[in-house]
Amino acid sequence: MENGFSQDDYERLLIIGENNVVVGEIVHFKIRTPYTREIGYWLFDENFRGRGYVSEAVQLLADHLFRSRPINRIEIIASSENDGSKRVAEKAGFRFEGVLRQYVFMGGKYHDSCVYSLLRDEWGGKKVDSENSLAS
């Protein structure tokens, strides 16, 4: 993929918004088995929230991963306190699986995380228009 940092088990891509402004980044990496990837994402500025940039990037990346790799599962781990991140996962077709209790230690205390997944059978070869979107 272009505009990213790539290694065999980790790839980082920029999320480009209107007027070619870099609004965030999205990453994917291998977890537990060679058939599972995790996706993570960040916006660089709160002013870009609610515009669909991250949701579109997740859909495009999931599409790319299922088309180009022999994987069966993609996961997203979101803070239980981050409603926006949970909405991104759901909007991209990921299913809520459960809560990892006290999974992350941050700010002097433990926080729960929510697990979302998308399986190859659920994805079904959805086509996402990537003409003017995340570089592929």
For the packed helices 83-91 and 53-68, what is the interaxial angle rounded to 10 degrees? 50
**pTM attached to this predicted model:** 0.82
94 vs 20: CA distance, rounded Å: 28
pLDDT tens digits, 90-101: 999 999 999 999
In whole angstroms, how large is the CA radius of gyration of the chain?
A: 15
Rounded-to-integer distance, Cα 47 and Cα 34, Å = 36
pLDDT for position 133: 42
Helices (H), the chain: 53-68, 83-91, 120-123
Provide the pLDDT for residue 89.
Answer: 96
Residues in the chain: 136
pLDDT of residue 33: 85
Give the tens place of pLDDT for each residue, 50-67: 889 999 999 999 999 999
Tell me the domains of the chain and their CATH numbers.
4-123 (3.40.630.30)
Q: What is the pLDDT of residue 125?
A: 65
Taking alpha carbons only, the member of 103, 92, 105 closest to residue 64 is 92
DSSP 8-state code for residue 131:
T
- Given a cut of 50, whether residue 3 has pLDDT beyond it is no
Three-state secondary-structure class, residue 94: coil
